[in-house]
Structure 1
Amino acid sequence: MRKGETTEDKVFPVCKTRALDKYIAAVYEHVVVVPDVTLTPVTPAEALRMMNINLDIIEKAVKEAAKKNAQIIVTPEDGLHGWDFNRETIAPYTEDVPDPQVNWIPCKYPQRFGPAPIQERLSCMAKDNTIYVVANIVDRKTCNSSDPQCPSDGRYYYNTNVVFDSKGKLVARYYKYNLYTGEEHLNPPKEPEHITFDTPFGKFGIFTCWDVMFYDPAVILVNTLKVDTILYPTAWLNFLPHLTAIGINSAWAMGMGVNVLSSNIHNTSIGITGSGIYAPDKPREYYYNMETDEGKLLISELDVHPQPSASYSVVDWKLYASSIKDFSPATDVTSVVIYSDEFLFMELAEAEGNASICHGDLCCHLTYHMVEKRKDEVYALGVFNGLHVAEGQFYLQICTLVKCKTTNMTTCGRPVETSSTLFKEFSLSGTFDTNYVFPEVLCSGVHLAPEIFKVLKDGRLISQSRVSSKSLLTATLYGRWYEKDSVKQFPTLSQQQN
């Protein structure tokens, strides 16, 4: 037994009981109180005061979630300290987070690893409310010249997720691997981490924000380590039409066949919103609101062991599209750059018909029927097949039906949040070279509508009913061809198992 521990902190075998079939999850979209942007660092006391303001707000959400019988709550990336730092100004906001194997309950033994007031408070929130608490902080690790990768200031700073169980024990620590613009003051770990932990209500994996776009660690957690639920703190800046937080997270849950608990920052001034509790069959609760400055607590019941939706694991994503012989590829196309990717678009000039457009080996096919072809709204079929090079390199294959921002085709793919056109039916497919294809459908007002579409085993994304009551913004098959990413991002099977 370690110094400072009691027998109640040790784990003893107990009689097995019937495993839970369902559990209640919560995520909190948090309006972060951020420090003033300054080029000089504040004192540790001032940094702690600022973080405690955010912890006061988060603690109210934790208590409310616990009162509603939630067993786990996820809070957002950057939720305690905000952003806009450099190496010097982030320092007072950091703490040393030990390896969870040390078997530590900070709420009971706060001084065991030196001052750790943030971890102590998070631990007490979990313990006092009997709920798992997931939060994002910055871990500080000292290093010296014996480490050739040691930063010049002698410290590593890691974007870190921590998980405290319902007794306040630190059970997981994850370092974000795929850093985004604005995180130049932070360090990625030397190798991606694959962090999982078991609970009475399933096996959980965890990663952060931009990690979702890559094979490692995101896909490995599901395919190799077989987690049931992904915990996903994020500070996601929305990029319509294809990279909204709710769109990509719902699609990822469907495509990978797991639950996703996604907690985002709420800051409409910079376009950040979108949190949710997603199951493979449909989102259970989600929040996307650019009209208010209020956060939101979401709570919903989930299956402990979710079943993949529509048997996505057996979908042949190119079967139907490869069989098409009578669609003539577009000759009149418009090139539009969307988030650094050059898409090709063709206008849907008629109220109904067939359309095809190709980019290299990827051909996208669409059959559609609008209720009415409006003069003030233009829709287009688009394709992208290539290496995305902004914020990391990763290979995309995308077939998309979008509403253009104006009637000018050069505005196709620009952000647009409302539409009036109703579709009687649509069927979208493509000759994909990857099995990782994620179906995204957004309706007017940036709403998810899983009831209006389904995926067939032959790779078609089709409308569910003859006439939808929801106006369409976009219907997309978002493919990730991981094998064509860099070697670092796609390990061999033997590397995954080691």
Structure 2
Amino acid sequence: MSKVYSTYIAGVYEQHLDDQGKFVEYNLKTYNSVASDAKKLGVDILVFPEEGIYPDPDLKAPTNFSLYVPNPVQKISPCYYNNFSSVMKNLSCLAKQYEMYIVANVNEIFDCNNITQKELNDTRDCGLDKVYFFNTNIAFDRNGTVIARYRKHNLYGEYGEVLLNSTIVPTISIFNTDFNVSFGLFTCFDILFDKPTLMLVKNYNIRHVIFPTRWMSELPFLTALQIQEGWAYVNSATLLASNVNDPKYGSTGSGIYQARTKNNVYYATGKEESTLIISEVSKDNRYLPHSKYIYKIYPKVGESILYENKHPPANNNESISIQMLPCQMNNYSFKPLPLNKDKIHETVCQNTVCCEFNVSLSRNTTLMNLNSTYYKYQFVIRDGVRSFSSMANGGIQLCGIVACTTNNTSSCGLRFPDYNKIDWPITFENITIRANFPEKKTLIHFPNTLNASIMPILPSSWSWERKDTNTIVYKLNKPQNYLLTFGIFGRNFDFDSSPRELLSQISDNNSLGFALKAADYDSDMKIGKVQNGGSKKAALIQNIKDLNKENDPKI
């Protein structure tokens, strides 16, 4: 007797932002078309990306691209009322018309007064305009009722951080559905932090999460799909990730990840195109051996793809069009991986972290002897603090094997410009990483893989095991010859901070202050200069001058 699995159908939309996408009316019309097609395919819940409605706002008129969002406790369906904005009304009516749950991202305007300050647990001054502007996800039920509202807690420089506000206390936003699944909400940069993301999983036992994003990918550890898959796997959660498609700025990569099963469906492309990904999802995160996988590219006709059996070529040249943000790896420790050996054993350490590597590889010596162009590899480790584009400082703990275009470590995280002009003589038969990390509740570590098509390596090709509270064994079990990254990426939340706290003595209203706050730096290298005596202001000014002289890629 065959098993019957309890499932629902989810859809995530990767939205290309073309010239017409600057207009709200055009985007709403597109959303209607997407929802219509999703309805025909039986979708229960549809997710749109971050900044998909207002991708290019006029900062001089913030109220023109911001709207009031009703409190979910009021159980209001804006579709029935005329006193809501056209965007809010359209989204509500969309959910009602197609009888599906819809999650969309908007810019919310929220009155600031004594009552609302108490509601937000916020002690900040309301300012002259007496309003907040939030980056907000809204969830609508099948009747168009607003059932959840999540305000992004960890901002990533939204519009230069000139306009939008962060919440002081992270919002826990959860909603229930008529198919008996509870969903949590968070947005983009939130995924790298403990609050509210890990709170949803650990404190509220949420195992289905919705993730609108406008992620700008960074090599070698922080491309969109790497982070999405790793987060879902470690947290045993289903993640519905909807990204913007803007490959010239590194934005692409959406998917539906079903915890630790093989039922992951994801997509990233160097092409400028929109994509609707649809998948049957297990409510209890079980493996579905005959799951429905439907993959559709607009305006092309849909086609069915089971990604576990049919995957884009790992050396797909199209992926070169994705303009990555290269990682600044100044303070990483490296050891070259010798490509002339069949078996390599190496241990690398930095600060409190050590990783032991056992690698078996094979090589095409004919290609190597022809002086062909191909990737070299380095063992790499980092235990310290980094800056995320000067939007936040974060503690990181990572180790792995990364591809480099030369034997110089400064080339790690870079790519060759044309895969048709290089060779791939190296095949990694298997890799084992045994990592020892400090035992702390403020640490989390993720499997992290990437091939040359900017796709994760299929979960069926590797295994992840936590031996005890501080030891992880990560294995590559199937040969790979288009490898860019195989490693463990971790976050240490003890060292998180805002760079703005350190820069408060520089005025925001002068050009130097603006340049300083926009500049990139490696936290533990640059901040050290500030803290070692002398004038803080003078040291910070000098840091900006130093950064302008450096040739290392900045994120």
Which whole-Å CA distance do the structure 1 matches of 2:25 and 2:430 have between them? Answer: 52
Distance 1:211 1:442 in 2: 22
Residue 486 of structure 2 corresponds to residue 475 of structure 1: yes
Structure 1 residue 340 displacement after superposition: 6.6
Matched, 1:451 2:460: yes
* Counterpart amino acid of residue 479 in structure 1: G
Matched AA of 2:406? T
Moved more, 222-231 or 366-375: 366-375
Asked if 1:406 is matched to 2:383, the reply is no
The 5-angstrom pairing of residues 53-72 of structure 1 reads: 53-72=26-45
Deviation at 1:393, TM superposition (A): 2.3
- Deviation digits for residues 30-58 of structure 1, max 9, x if unmatched? 0134689xxxxxxxxxx9xx212001112
Q: 2:246 aligns with which of 267, 271, 281?
A: 267
1:227 aligned onto 2:206: yes
Go from structure 1 to structure 2 and tell me whether the alpha carbon gap of 1:58 and 1:470 turns closer, same or farther (over 3 Å shift). Answer: farther
Q: Which moved more, 1:468-477 or 1:74-83?
A: 468-477
C-alpha separation between the residues in 2 aligned to 1:95 and 1:71?
Answer: 26
1:255 corresponding residue in structure 2: 234
SS state at 1:447 partner: coil
Q: CA RMSD in A?
A: 2.5
CA contact (8 A) 2:11 2:43 kept: yes
Contact 1:23 1:201 in 2 (8 A): no
Q: 1:26 aligns with which of 8, 11, 14?
A: 11
Q: For residues 310-389 of structure 1, what are the structure 2 equivalents within 5 Å?
A: 338-339=327-328, 342-349=331-338, 350-351=340-341, 352-372=343-363, 375=368, 376-389=374-387
Contact 1:340/1:388 (CA < 8 Å) preserved in 2? no
Aligned partner of 1:41 in structure 2 is none
Provide the rounded CA distance (Å) in 1 between the counterparts of 2:464 and 2:350: 23
Secondary structure at the aligned position of 2:218 is classed as coil
Q: What runs of 5+ residues in structure 2 fail to find an aligned partner?
A: 118-123, 288-325, 369-373, 499-555
Partner of 1:323: none
Which of residues 92, 114, 132 in structure 1 aligns to 2:64? 92
Aligned-pair CA distance for 1:469: 5.1
Kindly provide the amino acid, as one letter, of the partner of residue 287 in structure 1. Answer: Y
Contact 1:34 / 1:83 at 8 angstroms: preserved in 2? no
AA of the residue aligned to 1:246: L
* Mean Cα deviation higher: 387-396 or 423-432: 387-396
Deviations 1:115-172 (A, max 9, x none): 3211111111111111101100011123369975213333211001001011111101
- Alpha-carbon distance in 1 for matches of 2:444, 2:286: 17
Instruction: Provide the rounded CA distance (Å) in 2 between the counterparts of 1:237 and 1:406.
Output: 25
- Asked if 1:238 is matched to 2:217, the reply is yes
Q: Which one-letter code corresponds to 2:142 in the other structure?
A: S
Partner residue of 1:305?
284
TM-score (norm 2): 0.72
The 3-state SS of whatever aligns with 1:122 is helix
1:331-369 C-alpha deviation (Å, 9 max, x unpaired): xxxxxx934762111111143211111111111211101
Cα distance between partner residues in 2 of 1:409 and 1:483: 28
Deviates further, 444-453 or 260-269: 444-453
| Mapped partners of 1:141, 1:34: distance in 2 | 29
Displacement of 1:20: 7.8
Q: Deviations over 1:375-403 (max 9, x none)?
A: 43211110010122332122111011111
Q: Verify the 8 A CA contact 1:341 1:388 in the aligned structure 2.
A: no
Residue 410 (structure 1) shift: 2.2
Matches within 5 A, 1:42-57: 50-57=23-30
Secondary structure, aligned partner of 2:92: helix
Residue 229 of structure 1 and its aligned partner are, at CA, apart by: 0.7
Instruction: Measure the CA separation in 1 of the matches of 2:217 and 2:379.
Output: 22
**Structure 2 counterpart of 1:16:** none
- Deviation at residue 208 of structure 1 after TM alignment: 0.4
- 2:94 and 2:430 map into 1 onto residues whose CA distance is 49
CA 1:34 to 1:201, structure 2 compared with 1: closer, same or farther past 3 Å? farther
Match of 2:317 in 1: none
Work out the CA distance in 1 between the residues paired with 2:452 and 2:268. 12
CA–CA distance in 1 between the matches of 2:350 and 2:56? Answer: 38
Is the contact made by 1:161 and 1:174 (CA closer than 8 Å) also made in structure 2?
yes
State percent identity of aligned pairs: 28
Once residues 246 and 335 of structure 2 are traced to their aligned partners in structure 1, the CA distance between those partners, rounded to angstroms, is 35
Give yes or no for contact 2:392–2:497 (8 Å, CA) kept in 1: no
Tell me whether 1:464 sits opposite 2:444 in the alignment: no
**1:418-465 deviation per Cα after TM superposition (whole angstroms, max 9, x unaligned):** 672311111112111255210011122112222211113422111223
- Which structure 1 residue ranges, 5 or more long, are not aligned? 1-18, 37-46, 309-336, 488-498
Task: Give the whole-Å Cα distance in 2 for the aligned partners of 1:34 and 1:157.
Answer: 25
Paired amino acid for 2:383: N
Cα 1:85–1:450 shift into 2, 3 Å: farther
- Determine the structure 1 residue equivalent to 2:77: 105
Say whether the 8 Å CA contact 1:265–1:272 is kept in structure 2.
yes
Residues in 1 aligned to 2:37 and 2:406: alpha-carbon distance in whole angstroms: 44
Report how far residue 196 of structure 1 moved: 0.5
Q: Give the length in aligned residue pairs.
A: 422
Q: How does 1:269-284 map to 2 (within 5 A)?
A: 269-281=248-260, 282=262, 284=264
